[in-house]
Amino acid sequence: MSFTGVSSQLKGLLGVMVQEKSGSKIRKSVLIVDDLIGNVKLLAKHLDEYKLYFALDGLTALNVAEQSLPDVILLDIMMPGLDGYEICRRLKLNARTRSIPVIFVTAKSHEDDEELGLQVGAIDFISKPISGSILRARLANHLELKDYRDNLEELLAQKDSELSATYEQLLHAEKLSAIGKLTASISHEFSSPLLGMEQILKSFRLDEEDEDKKQLFDVCVGECQRLRDLIREMQNFGRPTTSSFEPVDLNEIIKGVIKLCGKNFSRNNIVAELQLAEIPPINGIPDQMKQVLFNLLTNAKDALGVSGGCIRVNTIVRGGQVVVTVTDTGCGIAKDSLEDVFAPFFSTKAEGEGTGLGLSICYGIVSKHKGKISVESGYGKGSTFTLRFPIPEDSLS
Ligand SMILES: Nc1ncnc2c1ncn2[C@@H]1O[C@H](COP(=O)(O)OP(=O)(O)O)[C@@H](O)[C@H]1O
Ligand SMILES: [Mg+2]
């Protein structure tokens, strides 16, 4: 290792400089803190394979540590100004530098000194005079330990976020199931009296001449019809499925549902474009898959409104999953509402136009199929709903 000019640079930079080997990959870094340049040089001589930072006084050391976040700090104890203990104490008080291991390098050998060093947060002591091999071995051990700790922390953070995502899903599923039970019982209570009232209403004789009354009559019958539709949707929502899982070709399902929507689409100036790749069958319940696609297409149609537009349905295999996207060029979804669209009873449609149950039904069905449903949307630009289903093991070969 060449030290040419280091002393003058050290002085010029208030005791800080970085010694870096050119052309090397990411290396572990060590901050050496000692008020004597001779000692810094001596330590640096043994640490050729590390990226090195130097500091000749306490305040600079704290600064460099915070800026550069070295992997380990070699700290002298006896220094003018802040001594090693105080530097260590301050490093441990700072959230950014708290986890950097500190090793005291000192001529002090009294037990009390070691005790105080450990109290302020150091992890080890190395005594002067320095033995190069011991220094390197100790450093390597502490860096390995730090790696384990960092990896563990990363793993814990990852598991933590996975756990909260699962919790959110569970919460949503629980909400759906509770609302499903509630709506099933309410809709059962409502359907018989409604049917009775509708029949009584229809049995009334109307004066053919009275146009106003006729109109009111039609409104009442129309409202009964709408309530019946709503009740049917609520019953579907709460109804446990009896169908069983079987291999389902989603391309066929899509073609069938598009056919079903055909008239409605052409009446509303909507063009449906299909881009269906070759996909393996998924493990699913055909009726429920139809229901999901039907809900997504109906929503896309509603989003396009009276002026019409284009609805594109794609299928593809990506990342070991069957991916279906339904894209429309409609009104899009406001950013604030994106999180709510899968919640039961969330609807931005005019009264009588929407129940707010379609997407939560989709969510429930897709989750039961071990899949994921997500949405991307630009307000005023259109939306894409994406379904992802796992490919069954036996379809993989
Ligand atoms: N393709 C879409 N484009 C724009 N908004 C949509 C789309 N699909 C769903 N939404 C929004 O999500 C809401 C909930 O949809 P849904 O659960 O199907 O209930 P509903 O259609 O009865 O309102 C809709 O009211 C609408 O605001
Ligand atoms: Mg809907």
For 123-132, the CB contacts below 8 A with 24+ separation are 126/74, 128/39, 130/42, 130/43, 130/46, 130/105, 132/45, 132/46
- Closest ligand by atom to 300 CA: 1
Q: pLDDT per residue over 106-156, tens digit each?
A: 876 666 677 787 888 899 888 888 889 999 999 999 999 988 988 998 899
The pLDDT, as a whole number, for residue 396 is 66
Ligand 1: nearest atom to the Cα of 347: 25
- Pocket lining: 291 vs ligand 1, CB cutoff 6 Å: no
Mean pLDDT across the chain, nearest whole number?
85
Q: pLDDT per residue over 206-251, tens digit each?
A: 666 778 888 888 888 888 888 887 787 677 665 655 578 999 999 9
For 114-119, the CB contacts below 8 A with 24+ separation are 116/85, 117/77, 117/84, 117/85, 117/88
CA distance 17 to 14: 9
Probe residue for ligand 1, chosen from 270, 299, 310, 366 as the CB with the greatest number of ligand atoms within 8 Å: 299
- Pocket lining: 82 vs ligand 1, CB cutoff 6 Å: no
- Pocket lining: 341 vs ligand 1, CB cutoff 6 Å: yes
> What structural domains does the chain harbor?
6-130 (3.40.50.2300), 157-240 (1.10.287), 243-397 (3.30.565.10)
- Pocket lining: 311 vs ligand 1, CB cutoff 6 Å: no
- Pocket lining: 325 vs ligand 1, CB cutoff 6 Å: no
Distance 82 CA to ligand 1 centre (A): 64
pTM for the whole thing? 0.51
- Pocket lining: 384 vs ligand 1, CB cutoff 6 Å: no
The pLDDT, as a whole number, for residue 312 is 98
User: In whole angstroms, how far apart are CA 85 and each of 98, 129, 328?
Assistant: 14, 20, 65
The pLDDT, as a whole number, for residue 108 is 65
The pLDDT, as a whole number, for residue 4 is 32
Distance 354 CA to ligand 2 centre (A): 6
The pLDDT, as a whole number, for residue 390 is 96
Distance 362 CA to ligand 2 centre (A): 10
The pair of three-digit structure tokens given for residue 64, joined into one six-digit string: 């460099």
Distance 4 CA to ligand 1 centre (A): 70
- Pocket lining: 331 vs ligand 1, CB cutoff 6 Å: yes
3-state helix, strand, coil in the chain (%, to 5): 50, 20, 30
- What is the average per-residue pLDDT within 53-59? 95
